[in-house]
Amino acid sequence: MYSIAQITLSVKEVRIMEKRIGVMAMVLAAVCMSLLTALPAWSGEYPPQKVVYHLNNKDYIMDVLRNVQNHIKAVGEDKLDVYVVSHASGVNMYLKDKTNDEIMSKIKSLQKQGVKFRQCEFTLQQKKLTLKDTVILTEADMVKSGVAEIIKLQQQGYHYIKP
């Protein structure tokens, strides 16, 4: 037989166990919720992204254009806001005597997918070039300074990429 003291102790133990089970249930629920929140990342889905690609070297023109296209394929054009800002020899991708059909085709395709291209005016001035020496570029694509434009975009929350 049990004494009253033993039964009272058992009731206290039960109450302690109930509290522990309640706490464990809350912890388990929190873990489950955090796992559900992480599922899109595990499934290969990416959140919306804002990016600025920096191009200042003619030797990397095709690499940058390919990276941008692959970025769009991975994230989706509806979740990606992309700028390509060029200066220095990056301007070659627009110059009539330096570019080629493959580059022009890639730029046009990326523009159709929402990619915005910006070119540094200082570069054109330093190289004694005008918009007439370029293809595709319009007055709207020009920015005073490529570097200053990149910083402005970073201040607006765009992530910097320099392939």
Domain coordinates of the chain in residue numbers?
A: 1-45, 49-161
Question: What pLDDT shows up at residue 153?
Answer: 99
Residues 6+ apart with CB under 8 A from 59: none
Kind and range of the H or E run holding 81: strand 80-86
Instruction: Walk along the chain (163 residues) and give the pLDDT tens digit of each residue.
Output: 565 555 555 677 767 777 777 767 677 776 667 666 655 555 568 999 999 999 999 999 999 999 999 999 999 999 999 999 999 999 999 999 999 999 999 999 999 999 999 999 999 999 999 999 999 899 999 999 999 999 999 999 999 999 8
pTM of the model: 0.74
Class of domain 49-161: alpha beta
Which residue, 120, 124, 121, 125, is CA-closest to 146? 120
Question: What pLDDT shows up at residue 129?
Answer: 95
For residue 2, CA distances in Å to 12, 77, 83, 124 come to 15, 73, 79, 96
Which residue, 48, 133, 53, is CA-closest to 99? 133
Task: Name the H helices within the chain.
Answer: 4-42, 61-75, 101-112, 121-126, 146-155
